[in-house]
Amino acid sequence: MAAQQLVRAAAQRLGAAGVASPDHDAAELLAHVLGTTRGALHLDPPVAPAQAERYDELVARRAGREPLQHLLGVAWFRHVSVEVGPGVFVPRPETELLAGWAIERAAALVAAGETPVVVDLCTGSGVIAKSIADEVPQARVHAVELDPPAHAWAERNLAGTGVDLRLGDLATAFDDLVGQVDVLVSNPPYVPLEAWESVAVEARDHDPHLALFSGDDGLDAIRVLDRRGAELLKPGGVVGIEHADAQGESAPGVLSRSGRWEEVRDHRDLAGRPRFLTARRPR
pLDDT digits (tens, 9 = 90+) for 177-231: 999 999 999 999 877 776 656 667 766 666 666 666 667 788 999 999 999 999 9
Residues 69-92: what's their mean pLDDT? 93
Find the range with the poorest average confidence among 127-131, 144-148, 155-159, 217-221.
217-221
DSSP 91: P
Domain ranges of the chain: 3-64, 87-280
Close Cβ partners of 74 (under 8 Å, ≥ 6 residues apart): 81, 82, 83, 84
104 is in an annotated binding site: no
The pTM is what?
0.89
CATH fold of the domain at 87-280: Rossmann fold (3.40.50)
Half-sphere exposure of 96 (CA within 13 A, CB side): 12
Among 262, 268, 217, smallest CA distance to 242 is for 268
Q: Helix %, strand %, coil % for the chain, to 5?
A: 45, 20, 35
- Which CATH number is 3-64's, of 1.10.8, 1.10.1670, 1.25.10, 1.10.3470? 1.10.8
Nearest CA-CA partner of 209 in 152, 127, 128, 147: 147
Choose among 81, 51, 57, 60: nearest CA to 69: 81
Does the annotation flag 145 for ligand binding? yes
Determine the average pLDDT of the residues in 55-70.
94
Continuous segment of H or E residues that includes residue 142: strand 140-145
CA–chain centroid gap for 133, Å, is 15
pLDDT at 198: 65
Q: What is the mean pLDDT of the chain?
A: 93
Over residues 226-277, the pLDDT tens digits come to 999 999 999 999 999 999 888 999 999 999 999 999 999 999 998 999 999 9
What residues form DSSP beta bridges with 145? 167
pLDDT band at 88 (very low <50, low <70, confident <90, very high): very high
Residue 190 assigned as binding residue: yes
- The fraction of the chain above a pLDDT of 70, given in percent, is 93
Q: 205 or 72: whose pLDDT is higher?
A: 72
pLDDT for 26 equals 97
Residues 241/261, Cβ–Cβ less than 8 Å: no
Mean pLDDT lowest among 23-32, 66-75, 114-123, 183-192: 183-192
Question: Does the annotation place 188 within a ligand binding site?
Answer: yes
